[in-house]
Amino acid sequence: MNRTLAITLVAAGALALSACGQKRTPATLPPAPGGEVSSTANDPNYDANGNYIGPGSQTDLRRSAGSDRVFFDLDSYGLDDTDRATLTRQAAWLAQYPNVNVTIEGHCDERGTREYNLALGERRANAAKNFLASLGVAPGRMSVVSYGKERPEALGSDEQSWAQNRRAVTMVIR
């Protein structure tokens, strides 16, 4: 029985080895690492990083409306004439792209408590949203979020930096 067991084991091993066979090289090889060219490389609607910059994009909003943000005075959420003109251009752009939704971000400078600035940022975002809605932009296309003082545009503790941080930004959602 030992001899039969030995022959069975040898036959099973030979069968297992023959099943492995030689490895075959595929007919086509994958591209070398880093050698693949992005499908958006020559598309003018995409930047060098592959971000969409064509019609209906954040970049298009900035280009067409002149800006994607409005600025506020200290402790204020009132819109001045410059802000209303910017938001009017944004509303016209949004009318061209009825399938585009936006989030309006409210921001503050570093002064004041976190809680105060979150509330003020929300009032700023809502002021921009309400003005856009008054121009015919459907409120359901717009959401608001307040970042308070948590996401400054400009670092620094001077009036120039603070003025850049007191803003509402219209962000395109893709």
Please report the pLDDT score of residue 1 as a whole number: 55
Please report the pLDDT score of residue 54 as a whole number: 81
CATH level 3 topology of 68-173: 60s Ribosomal Protein L30; Chain: A; (3.30.1330)
d(CA 159, CA 1): 96
Mean of the per-residue pLDDT values for the chain? 87
The edge-to-edge listing of strands for the beta sheet with 69-71 is 69-71, 167-173, 101-107, 142-148
Please report the pLDDT score of residue 14 as a whole number: 63
- pTM equals 0.73
d(CA 151, CA 62): 20
Closest CA to 134 of 172, 97, 96, 79: 79
Please report the pLDDT score of residue 20 as a whole number: 58
Please report the pLDDT score of residue 104 as a whole number: 98
Please report the pLDDT score of residue 90 as a whole number: 98
d(CA 69, CA 106): 10
Rg (CA), the chain: 30
pLDDT tier, 17 (very low <50, low <70, confident <90, very high otherwise):
low
pLDDT tier, 43 (very low <50, low <70, confident <90, very high otherwise):
confident
Closest CA to 61 of 168, 139, 145, 170: 170
- pLDDT tens digits, residue range 72-110? 999 999 999 999 999 999 999 999 999 999 999 999 999
